[in-house]
C-alpha cells in the first residue's frame, strides 16, 4: 500500500471494539483525513495523555463523584452508599475508550510509518511511551469495572481479559517498554510540546514505568504474592523509579472548559471535609494548632481532651464513627499539619477559602428549642448516610461555610494534577520491606522518607522531625512513630459540654474496631501506619489509589454511613451490624454501563463470566479483599 490515510478524530468505544481489521483499513482510507506524511505519532499520544486529565464534564462525575466519594475524601454519600448512575458510567466508558484508542493508534501509526520507511527517528521511543501510558489506562479501566480487553483491532471481536490477565499484561508491557528506549535521542522543543507530563524526557518515562510496576505488583500482593514479589523486586532494583519531586508524573492544569481544566474545579461541590479524613487527621502527629496558625486563632483553639458540644438529638448514633454526637465549637488542639493546608477553616477569609462559602451561621433544633451556632473558626464534619428526621433539625450539615472544605487553590485550574508522586514510591517500598522483600532501604526509612516527601509538597516540612517521632493517637487509634506499635486501648476520657445547657461532662471516647482488618483487634501496627500515611499523602490527587488500597487491605478505617433510615442500595448494612465493618458495606467496583450490555451482548457475558460474580457494585475484583 503506497498511501495510507488517518483520521485523527477517530473514536472507537470499548463497546464497539468488534470493528474488524478491514473496517480499520476503511477508516485509514478516508479521503477527508490526513496523509501518512502529515500525521504524527505524537499527535495521538498527546491526545491520549491530555484527554485523560478529564474535562469538567467527566471529571465531575468520575474523579469527584465516583473516586473521591469512594475514597471518602469528601462529604457525599452517593456511590459510597450504593447508589449508581448509569449515565455517568456510560460517559466514563466512552471517554476512557477514546483515551485508549488514541494510545493504540499512536502505536499503529508508528508501525505503519516504519513499514513504509517514513518513520521519524523518535517514533520507536514514542511507541514505548505509548505502551507505558496504555498500561496505566488499562489498569485504570480494570480497577473501575473489572475484566476488559487488553488488545484492540486484532480481530473481528475483542477478547475480554480477566483482571489477572490485564495486570499480567500491563506488568509485562511496563517491563518491556522501559527497556527499549534509545536514550541518546534528544527531542527538540517542538516535539516536547506533545508530552504534557514529561516533555519526552525518556529517563522520567522509565522511572514512571518502574514505579507503576511497583504499584501494580503491590496491588496483587495479597492474591499472587510470588508474582508480586518478583515484579516489585525487579522494578525497584533498577534504581530508576520516581524517587524525588522532579520525577513526579504531573500535568499542568489550565483555565477553561477542556481536558486540562482542573479536575476539582466545578462550583457545585465544595468537597467538604469527610469524617473519614478528619478522624485520621485529629491528633495525628501531635502538632499543636497554635503552632500552625496565626495568633488570632488562639482563642478558638480548644483544650487537648475536649471533644465539643454534645448533641445526641442531631447526630446519628447508628454508625461506628467514634466522634459522632459532638460539635466542636472551636479548633482542635492537635491535628495533622496537612489538614489546614488542604481544607479551609470556616469563616476565615485570610485562608484559602472558596469565595461562596461565607455564611457560617446556622442552628440545631434541640427538644423543640433552637440552639444557634456560628461555625467561624470551628472544625467539624458529619458522617455520610441517611439522618432521617434529624435532617430537619440541622442547618449545619453539608452546608457551605459551616464545614471545612477543599482549599480554593485546588478548585481553580492553576495546579498540576498528580498521577504518581515520589511519596507513593517510598510507601510502596516500606510495605514491600515490611513483607520481607528485597528493597533499597528498610521499611522505617522508606516510611519516613514518604512522609518527608509529602511534607515538602505541602510546605510543612518544618514539622517533620516532631511529627515522625509522635506517639499521639488519632481518633481511630493510630500514631505516627513507626516503632510505636502499642495499641491505644479501649478509649480515652474526654471532656464535653451539653449543647443546650452547657453543663460539663466526661465521656470515654471509644476507638472504632476495623473488623475487616485483622478482625478489628489491630489499630496501630506498621502496615496501618504505612497505609494511613499513604492515604493522607495521596489526597486529593489520587482518590482512585485510596479506594484501591481500601479494597485490597481494608485500610485505613472508614466509618459506616449513618442509617437512621436503612440505605436501600446498601442492603448488607443494618441495625444489627453497623458497629462492625464488612467488605459488602463498601462499593467494590462500578457496574458495566448499559451501553456495553446492549451493543455487545456476547462481550458482556464474557466479561461477567470473567468477573466471577454478579455485575453489581459489591463483587470484589480479583486482587481485592474477599472477606
pLDDT in tens, 89-102: 999 999 999 999 99
Residue 154: per-residue pLDDT:
46
Residue 233 reports pLDDT greater than 80: yes
Which carries the bigger pLDDT value, residue 6 or residue 336?
336
Kindly indicate the confidence band of residue 266, based on its pLDDT and cuts at 50, 70 and 90: confident
Residue 3: per-residue pLDDT:
35
Average pLDDT of the residues in 472-495? 96
Write out the three cell numbers for 51: 484527554
Residue 10: per-residue pLDDT:
33
Neighbours of 340 (CB within 10 A): 26
Residue 122 reports pLDDT greater than 80: yes
Report the number of secondary-structure helices (H) and strands (E) in the chain.
19, 16
Which helix (H) or strand (E) segment holds residue 35: the answer is: strand 34-35
Average model confidence (pLDDT) for the chain?
Answer: 92
Residue 467 reports pLDDT greater than 50: yes
Write out the three cell numbers for 287: 502538632
Residue 20: per-residue pLDDT:
29
**Model pLDDT for residues 374-385, shown as the tens digit of each residue:** 999 999 999 999
Kindly indicate the confidence band of residue 288, based on its pLDDT and cuts at 50, 70 and 90: very high
Taking alpha carbons only, the member of 552, 618, 598, 569 closest to residue 225 is 552
Residue 269: per-residue pLDDT:
83
**Model pLDDT for residues 521-563, shown as the tens digit of each residue:** 999 999 999 999 999 999 999 999 999 999 999 999 999 999 9
Residue with cell 476512557: 96
Does residue 152 sit within a domain? Answer: no
Q: What angle do CA 285, 520, 343 make, to 5 degrees?
A: 35
Cα 152 from Cα 477, distance rounded (Å): 48
Kindly indicate the confidence band of residue 272, based on its pLDDT and cuts at 50, 70 and 90: very high
Residue 358 reports pLDDT greater than 90: no
Whether this prediction's pTM lies above 0.85 is answered by yes
Residue 599 reports pLDDT greater than 50: yes
- How many residues make up the chain in this entry? 627
**Model pLDDT for residues 42-63, shown as the tens digit of each residue:** 999 999 999 999 999 999 999 9
Cα 154 from Cα 596, distance rounded (Å): 19
Average pLDDT of the residues in 399-417? 92
Residue 354: per-residue pLDDT:
66
Average pLDDT of the residues in 212-238? 98
Cα 424 from Cα 441, distance rounded (Å): 15
405: containing domain: 275-410
**Model pLDDT for residues 570-593, shown as the tens digit of each residue:** 999 999 999 999 999 999 999 999
Cβ pair 300, 377 in contact under 8 A: yes
Cβ pair 168, 220 in contact under 8 A: no
Residue with cell 511511551: 129
Write out the three cell numbers for 243: 524517587
Overall domain count for the chain: 1
Kindly indicate the confidence band of residue 2, based on its pLDDT and cuts at 50, 70 and 90: very low
Residue 12 reports pLDDT greater than 90: no
Amino acid at each position: 500500500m503506497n498511501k495510507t490515510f488517518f483520521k485523527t478524530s477517530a473514536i472507537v468505544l470499548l463497546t464497539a471494539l468488534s470493528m474488524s481489521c478491514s473496517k480499520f483499513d476503511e477508516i485509514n482510507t478516508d479521503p477527508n483525513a490526513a496523509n501518512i506524511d502529515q500525521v504524527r505519532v505524537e499527535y495521538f499520544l498527546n491526545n491520549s495523555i491530555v484527554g485523560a486529565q478529564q474535562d469538567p464534564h467527566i471529571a465531575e462525575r468520575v474523579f469527584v463523584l465516583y473516586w473521591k466519594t469512594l475514597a471518602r475524601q469528601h462529604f457525599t454519600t452517593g456511590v459510597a452508599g450504593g447508589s449508581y448512575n448509569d449515565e455517568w458510567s456510560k460517559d466514563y466508558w466512552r471517554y476512557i475508550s477514546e483515551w485508549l484508542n488514541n494510545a493504540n493508534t499512536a502505536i499503529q501509526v508508528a508501525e505503519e510509518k516504519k513499514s513504509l520507511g517514513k518513520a521519524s527517528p523518535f517514533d520507536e521511543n514514542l511507541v514505548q511511551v505509548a505502551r507505558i501510558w496504555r498500561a496505566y489506562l488499562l489498569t485504570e479501566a480494570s480497577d473501575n469495572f473489572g475484566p476488559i480487553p487488553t488488545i484492540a483491532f486484532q480481530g473481528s471481536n475483542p477478547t475480554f481479559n480477566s483482571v489477572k490477565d490485564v495486570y499480567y499484561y500491563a506488568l509485562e508491557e511496563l517491563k518491556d517498554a522501559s527497556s527499549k528506549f534509545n536514550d541518546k535521542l534528544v527531542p527538540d522543543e517542538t516535539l516536547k510540546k506533545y508530552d504534557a507530563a514529561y516533555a519526552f524526557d525518556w529517563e522520567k518515562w522509565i522511572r514512571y514505568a518502574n514505579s507503576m510496576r511497583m504499584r501494580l505488583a503491590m496491588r496483587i500482593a495479597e492474591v499472587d504474592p510470588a508474582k508480586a514479589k518478583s515484579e516489585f523486586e525487579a522494578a525497584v532494583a533498577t534504581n530508576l523509579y520516581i524517587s524525588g519531586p522532579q520525577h513526579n508524573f504531573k500535568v499542568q492544569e489550565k483555565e477553561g472548559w477542556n481536558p486540562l481544566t482542573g479536575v476539582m474545579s466545578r462550583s457545585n461541590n465544595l468537597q467538604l471535609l469527610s469524617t473519614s479524613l478528619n478522624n485520621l487527621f485529629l491528633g495525628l502527629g501531635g502538632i499543636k494548632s497554635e503552632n500552625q496558625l496565626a495568633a488570632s486563632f488562639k482563642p478558638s483553639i480548644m483544650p487537648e481532651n475536649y471533644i465539643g458540644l454534645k448533641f445526641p438529638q442531631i447526630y446519628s448514633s447508628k454508625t461506628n464513627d467514634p466522634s459522632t454526637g459532638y460539635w466542636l465549637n472551636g479548633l482542635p488542639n492537635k491535628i495533622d499539619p496537612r489538614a489546614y493546608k488542604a481544607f479551609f477553616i470556616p469563616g476565615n477569609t485570610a485562608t484559602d477559602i472558596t469565595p461562596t462559602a461565607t455564611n457560617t451561621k446556622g442552628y440545631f433544633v434541640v427538644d423543640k428549642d433552637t440552639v444557634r451556632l456560628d461555625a467561624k473558626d470551628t472544625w467539624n464534619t458529619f458522617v455520610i448516610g441517611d439522618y432521617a428526621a434529624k435532617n430537619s433539625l440541622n442547618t449545619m450539615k453539608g452546608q457551605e461555610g459551616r464545614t471545612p472544605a477543599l482549599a480554593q487553590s485546588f478548585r481553580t485550574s492553576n495546579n498540576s494534577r498528580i498521577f504518581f508522586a515520589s511519596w507513593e514510591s517510598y510507601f510502596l517500598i516500606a510495605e514491600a520491606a515490611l513483607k520481607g522483600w528485597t528493597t533499597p532501604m528498610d521499611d522505617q526509612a522508606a516510611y519516613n522518607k514518604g512522609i518527608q516527601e509529602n511534607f515538602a509538597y505541602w510546605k510543612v516540612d518544618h514539622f517533620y522531625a516532631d511529627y515522625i517521632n509522635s506517639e499521639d493517637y488519632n481518633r481511630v487509634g493510630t500514631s505516627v512513630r513507626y516503632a510505636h506499635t502499642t495499641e491505644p486501648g479501649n478509649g480515652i476520657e474526654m471532656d464535653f459540654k451539653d449543647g443546650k445547657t452547657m453543663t460539663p461532662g466526661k465521656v470515654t471516647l471509644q476507638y472504632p474496631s476495623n473488623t475487616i482488618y485483622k478482625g478489628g483487634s489491630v489499630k496501630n501496627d506498621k502496615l496501618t501506619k504505612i497505609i494511613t500515611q499513604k492515604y493522607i499523602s495521596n489526597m486529593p490527587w489520587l482518590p482512585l489509589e485510596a479506594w484501591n488500597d481500601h479494597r485490597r487491605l481494608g485500610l485505613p478505617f472508614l466509618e459506616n454511613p449513618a442509617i437512621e433510615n436503612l440505605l436501600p442500595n446498601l442492603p448488607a448494612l443494618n441495625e444489627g451490624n453497623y458497629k462492625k465493618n464488612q467488605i459488602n458495606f463498601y462499593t467494590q467496583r462500578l457496574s458495566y454501563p448499559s451501553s456495553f450490555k446492549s451493543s455487545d451482548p456476547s462481550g458482556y457475558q464474557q466479561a461477567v463470566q470473567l468477573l466471577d460474580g454478579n455485575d453489581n457494585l459489591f463483587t470484589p475484583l480479583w486482587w481485592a479483599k474477599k472477606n
